[in-house]
Structure 1
Amino acid sequence: MSDADVTEIATETMMVAAKVAAPILLTALLVGFVISLFQAATQIQEPTLSFVPKMIAVAVALLITGNWVLASLVDFTHHLFDQLPRLLDRT
């Protein structure tokens, strides 16, 4: 396995990780922003006001995108296992 192979696998891994994490992180970011605007407008500084809606929104995002996330991870794993013979022949 060469340095280029390792770099290619690492790059692909980071791209898959970013795609898989994006829906959940963006949901939490959007809900957190809306809640912080609400808290700034009403001057209510209750910690649970930001935590509970964010937790519910992330759970809904996981329910909606969970199937796609699992399919992406399985496809990536199959792709890695398909590359194994090619990578082992170079050694």
Structure 2
Amino acid sequence: MTADQATELMRSAILLSLVIGLPVMLTAVIVGLAISIFQAVTQLQDQTLSFVPKIIAMMAVLLFVLPWTLEQVVEYSQEVFENVAPNLTQSSS
């Protein structure tokens, strides 16, 4: 495996992790913003109020996108094995 191939695999892994994490993180930001606006409007300043709705929303989104996430990870893993395995057999010959 050349350095360029290894760099490309690492770039793909970082990009995949960002894409996979985006739905959950975006949900946390949106729910957090909505709760912050609600707290500012009602002047209710309880620090623990934002955690429970955020956790529930994040878990719901995680369960919703789990099949897609697993599909993306399996595709990336197959790509890695297809690119690395031929190089291992060539180097051992």
Corresponding position: 1:43 with 2:43: yes
Partner of 1:32: 32
Runs of 4+ in 1 over 2 A off after TM superposition: 85-91
Q: Give the aligned residue type for 1:74.
A: V
Q: Secondary structure at the match of 1:84?
A: helix
**Alignment TM-score, normalising by the size of structure 1:** 0.90
Partner of 2:69: 69
Q: How far did 1:87 drift?
A: 3.3
Q: Give the aligned residue type for 2:76.
A: F
Q: How far did 1:17 drift?
A: 0.4
- Show structure 1 runs of 5+ residues with no match: none
Seen in structure 2, the aligned counterparts of structure 1 residues 76 and 2 have a Cα distance that, compared at 3 Å, is same
**Alignment TM-score, normalising by the size of structure 2:** 0.88
Q: How far did 1:29 drift?
A: 0.6
Moved more, 40-49 or 24-33: 40-49
- Show structure 2 runs of 5+ residues with no match: none
Number of aligned pairs? 91
- How big is each residue's C-alpha offset from its partner over 1:8-58, in whole Å with a ceiling of 9 and x where there is no partner? 011100111011101100000100011111111111111221000000100
Give the Cα separation in 2 of the matches to 1:56 and 1:22. 17
Give the Cα separation in 1 of the matches to 2:87 and 2:31. 43
Give the Cα separation in 2 of the matches to 1:17 and 1:86. 25
Partner of 2:56: 56
Give the Cα separation in 2 of the matches to 1:15 and 1:52. 29
